[in-house]
Amino acid sequence: MYLGVNIDHIALLREARAINDPDPLDALGIARRAGADQITIHLREDRRHINDDDVARIMQNSHLPVNIECSINPEMIEIVGAFRPARVTLVPEKREEVTTEGGLDLGGNYEALDQAVFYLKRLEIEVSLFIDPTVENIKSAKGLAVDWVELHTGKYANIYAMLNTNLAQTKHCIKELNVERTRLKKMLKTSIKELEDSAIAAKNDYGLKVAVGHGLNYQNVSDIVKIQEIEELNIGQSIIARSIFTGFENAVKEMRDLIK
């Protein structure tokens, strides 16, 4: 199972002071040494973290394949395509969101997606679609002739967090707590099953490569790596957060070891 390390949050920290420190470029060699298989970056329309100059320098210096996430806006597709990354992951993008909140609406954006995929494939760039984990979405993704799907793990991660964080703080009301815990455990099981069924359908029924990402961390990743059809995990926030205390190289290595 491959690990793509998303380094957007390094650029986000830089932007907090609008100076060139920390430089996401410095992450490339360390990530590779620590066992990452891919560098993932998101060139947002508002350039809130990674900017065009970062992309140019990362493309020039990365010895690992680069996966660029971007919206389906034709202007963005053209900009990102010109960098010729190994892969482009198309994601929904809203200016007001803190992070990518859900998967692409494939039906509602069919034409724009079809054009984006055609444009990128002509440049010999692999294309991935960031989607919510439903078999219906997998079927639509196959119809769009992409190489990869990336299943959104945000719902799973949120339920996992509710089960393991919030409940621990409400120990005083035992009966209600048990009811809530049972409900959340059921929800967690369902969300894992959705990911598993989607991964199986994508790989076995439709011949698509399967990545997952969003909200994965050192606690919740273990259920996900049990799904054998998943080929790659893209993880950002939790790795960069851990780096503050243990260093970037250790944080990547730790995640690499957990995945193994």
Known catalytic residues are 42, 69, 214
Find the binder of ligand PXP among 215, 221, 230, 259 (CB under 6 A).
215
- For residue 241, the minimal CB distance to ligand PXP (Å) is 9
- For residue 197, the minimal CB distance to ligand PXP (Å) is 20
For residues 7-46, which are near ligand PXP according to CB under 6 A?
8, 42
For residues 140-159, which are near ligand PXP according to CB under 6 A?
150
Q: What angle do CA 103, 218, 43 make, to 5 degrees?
A: 40
Terminal Cα distance for the chain, rounded: 8
Please choose, out of 23-31, 46-54, 137-145, 235-243, the segment that lies near ligand PXP by the rule CB under 6 A.
235-243
- For residue 157, the minimal CB distance to ligand PXP (Å) is 7
237 binds ligand PXP (CB under 6 A): yes
Rg (CA), the chain: 18
6 binds ligand PXP (CB under 6 A): yes
Find the binder of ligand PXP among 214, 242, 243, 252 (CB under 6 A).
214
Number of residues that bind ligand PXP (CB under 6 A): 19
Residue 243 half-sphere exposure, CB side, CA atoms within 13 Å?
21
Q: What angle do CA 82, 203, 124 make, to 5 degrees?
A: 20
Q: What does the alpha-carbon distance between residue 51 and residue 8 come to, in Å, rounded to a whole number?
A: 10
Q: Which helix (H) or strand (E) holds 75?
A: helix 74-82
234 binds ligand PXP (CB under 6 A): yes
Q: What does the alpha-carbon distance between residue 202 and residue 220 come to, in Å, rounded to a whole number?
A: 22
- For residue 217, the minimal CB distance to ligand PXP (Å) is 8
* Torsion region of 47: left, alpha or beta (phi above 0 gives left; psi -120 to 50 gives alpha): left
Interacting residues toward ligand PXP by CB under 6 A: 6, 8, 42, 69, 89, 91, 99-100, 130, 150, 213-216, 234-238
